[in-house]
Amino acid sequence: MNLTPYVDSLRGEFLLTAEAAGKETLGVAESLAASLDASVRLTLLSALSTAADEISRDLAPGAVDLRLRGLEPSFVVTPPSAGPGAEDLPAGGGAVENGTVIPAAEDEGAPARINFRLPEHLKARIEDVAGREGLSVNAWLVRAVAATLNGAGRSEPRPPSGDQHNVGWVR
């Protein structure tokens, strides 16, 4: 989605309003208009993100995510699954992976934001896997974290270093 026409339209309306107040005001408005570009884009992104969250709540267990590539946002729609296991979903939405119910976002309250930094090579791998699974990076990360916290994929705890022993079969 190209935000430039919306930003340009707002800039034009701003300058048109300033022009009506006189040439001196127009000069001040022109100098302010350039610095408003980033603020307007950020405000539009915030509105789009809020809209995607509201749509996701109504679409659960499907989702709408907002992705930002460069300066351009795009929507990624993950429709509700109609495949095997869809009838086993909890009434409030969610997903079932390896027999573990992963709650939908509304089961845990309102969505929250978190920023974290990770190595570029790991980010690329996450994007690749999420794309192969037909999920946004955000949806994939939410599922991965929920599965980990629910115990899926946990290995057996290691014995303390002083109490090492082997378990298994010997021929």
Peptide bond just before 73 cis, omega within 30 deg: no
**Amino acid identity of 115?**
N
Give the per-residue pLDDT at 169.
Answer: 65
Contact 64, 52 (CB under 8 A): yes
Evaluate if residue 155 carries a pLDDT over 60.
no
Least confident of 33-42, 57-66, 91-100, 135-144: 91-100
Q: For the chain, what percent of residues have pLDDT higher than 70?
A: 71
Taking CA atoms, 171 is separated from 29, 165, 167, 168, in Å, by 85, 18, 13, 10
pLDDT tens for each residue of 17-63? 888 888 888 888 888 888 888 888 888 888 888 888 888 887 777 78
What confidence tier does 153 reach under pLDDT thresholds 50, 70, 90? low
What is the maximum span of the chain, computed from C-alpha positions, in angstroms? 95
Distance (Å, rounded) from C-alpha 139 to C-alpha 119? 19
Residue 41: Cβ within 10 Å count: 17
pLDDT in tens, 63-81: 888 888 877 888 888 877 6
The pLDDT, as a whole number, for residue 152 is 57
Beta bridge partners of 64: 77
pLDDT the model gives residue 69: 81
Are 151 and 100 within 8 A, CB to CB? yes
